[in-house]
Amino acid sequence: MTLYFSNICSLFDDLHSPVLLQAERHRVYGLREARLVLGLKRSLGLGISRVNDLEGYKTAGNGDLGECVERVIASGGPPALPEVTIDEVDRALHAVAEDCRFSTPSVRTLPSPDEATASLFHLFPRLSPRSAKWLVRLVLRTAVPLDEATVLKSTHFLLPDLYRFQQDFGAAVALLRGHLSRFPPKPDALSEVLLREQASTLLRPAVGVKVGRPTFHKARSIQHCLQLTGKRRWSVERKYDGEYCEVHVDLERGLQNCIQIYSKSGKESTADRAKLHGTLRECLRIGRPECKFEKHCILLGELVVFSDLESQILEFHKIRKHVSRSGSFIGTGADSQAHLHEHLMIVLFDLLLVDDDLVLARPLEQRRARLREIYFKKRGRAVSAEWRVIDFAAGGAGKRLIDHLAASNAARCEGLVLKPCDAPYFSLSDQATKGLDGFIKVKKDYISGLGDEADFAVIGASYDARQTQKNGLQTIKWNSFHLGCLTNKAEVLRSGMRPIFRVVGTIKQDHCIPRPVLERANELCAAYGLSEHGRCSARSFDLTADSNMTMGMTLAKPFVFEVLGSSFDKPANKGFYMLRHRRVRKLHEDRSWEDCVSFDELQKQANEALSAPASSESQEVLLWIDKIEKSCKRKLDRASCQTTPQSVKTLPSPVLSRRSVHKKVSCVIVREDTAEHLEDPAKRVRLTAARRPTPGSPLADVPNRNRQSTTCLRSSIVEMDKVEVTEDRQKAIGPTDHRLISTIQACSTIDRPIASSVSHHCFLSKAVVYLRLSECSEKTKGTLRKLTAHGAQVIDDLSHWDRDSFSHPKLTDTVSESQAYGDRQKIVLCDPTESGGTLQECLDAVKGLNGGKFRERIEFYDLKIVDQLDCTTIAGEDSNRDAAQRCYLGVVSYDEDTGMMSFIDHR
Which pLDDT tens digit goes with each residue over 771-818? 766 555 667 777 787 887 777 888 877 776 666 655 444 344 444 565
Task: Reply yes or no on whether the pLDDT at 572 is more than 50.
Answer: yes
Task: Reply yes or no on whether the pLDDT at 670 is more than 50.
Answer: no
For the chain, give the percent of residues with pLDDT over 90.
38
pLDDT the model gives residue 663:
30
Alpha helices, H only, 333-383: 364-374
Mean pLDDT of 496-509: 93
**Phi, then psi, of 639 in degrees rounded to 5:** -65, -35
Categorize the per-residue pLDDT at 476 as very low, low, confident or very high, splitting at 50, 70 and 90.
confident
Higher pLDDT, 758 or 549: 549
Tell me the CB-side half-sphere exposure of residue 393, using CA atoms within 13 A: 5
pLDDT the model gives residue 13:
59
Q: What is the mean pLDDT of the chain?
A: 78
pLDDT the model gives residue 720:
29
Neighbours of 875 (CB within 10 A): 10
Query: Angle of helix 33-44 relative to helix 113-121, nearest 10 degrees?
Result: 70
350-354, 394-398, 581-585, 755-759 — which is least confidently predicted?
A: 755-759
pLDDT the model gives residue 786:
81
Q: Which class for 557: exposed (0-12), middle (13-18), buried (19 or more C-beta within 10 A)?
A: middle
| CA dist list (Å): 852 to 796, 845, 861, 895 | 20, 10, 21, 11
* 3 state SS of 372: helix
H or E segment at 624? Answer: helix 617-631
Neighbours of 865 (CB within 10 A): 20
| Cis peptide bond upstream of 82, omega within 30 | yes
Edge-to-edge order in the sheet of strand 825-830: 793-795, 767-771, 825-830, 858-862, 888-895, 900-905
pLDDT the model gives residue 76:
85
Is 350:658 a contact under the CB 8 Å cutoff? no
pLDDT the model gives residue 606:
94
User: How many Å apart are CA 130 and CA 431, to the nearest integer?
Assistant: 41
- SS3 annotation, 134-163: HHHHHHHCCCCCCCHHHHHHCCCCCHHHHH
Categorize the per-residue pLDDT at 712 as very low, low, confident or very high, splitting at 50, 70 and 90.
very low
- Mean pLDDT is highest, among 60-64, 234-238, 730-734, 863-867, for 234-238
Residues 6+ away with beta carbon under 8 Å from 199: 158, 180, 183, 428
| CA dist list (Å): 295 to 338, 357, 689, 767 | 35, 11, 48, 43
pLDDT the model gives residue 731:
38
User: How many Å apart are CA 239 and CA 217, to the nearest integer?
Assistant: 14
Task: Reply yes or no on whether the pLDDT at 391 is more than 90.
Answer: yes
pLDDT the model gives residue 638:
40
Task: Reply yes or no on whether the pLDDT at 585 is more than 80.
Answer: yes
Residue length of the chain: 907
Categorize the per-residue pLDDT at 278 as very low, low, confident or very high, splitting at 50, 70 and 90.
very high
Is 603:489 a contact under the CB 8 Å cutoff? no
